[in-house]
Amino acid sequence: MEGLLWHIVLRLSASVQQAAWRGIYSDLDILLVSLWAILHDRPACWACCADNWPNQWRPARLPNPSTLSRRLRKEGVEQLRDRLHQAAVASFKIEDQVAIIDGKPLLVSDVSKDWDAKNGRGTRGMSRATSCTV
């Protein structure tokens, strides 16, 4: 599944125009490292380590976590992220009436007063969770 999703990300990123960058890492390089972390549900610093990439997809150079964090806040990377999002919406023909819902449960404390929280199977046994939709 990881390979299929990453191929889709790479195909979409190839279709998006990016501004020229004279530094070591282009805006697209920064965005792809960030998306690798997001795809694997890991922190951004995890994606900056070469050990966490398969050889066929690992970039020649990976940014430091501080570089990644700083560059993700730059306007060029934000604009590229928005264009990539628009390309994904156009590629998958998502209509305005469709909502995408994240299906992960949000774990809460056993003493939570959240009325929606229910007991159920969790990572280390039984847990208390509430539904979190984004």
pLDDT > 70 in the chain, percent:
83
Residue 98 confidence (pLDDT): 64
Q: Is residue 76 part of a domain?
A: yes
Residue 134 confidence (pLDDT): 42
Q: Is residue 60 part of a domain?
A: yes
Q: Total domain count for the chain?
A: 2
Q: What is the token pair recorded at 61?
A: 């150079």
Same domain, yes or no, for 87 and 106? Answer: no
| Cα(133)–Cα(100) distance, integer angstroms | 9
Q: Is residue 120 part of a domain?
A: yes
| pLDDT tens digits, 36-68 | 998 888 899 999 999 999 988 888 889 999 999
Alpha-carbon Rg of the chain, whole angstroms? 18
| Cα(131)–Cα(104) distance, integer angstroms | 7
| pLDDT tens digits, 89-105 | 888 776 666 666 666 66
Same domain, yes or no, for 80 and 106? Answer: no
β-pairing, 118-122 vs 105-107, is unpaired
Provide the residue range defining the domain that includes 84: 2-91
Q: Is residue 96 part of a domain?
A: no
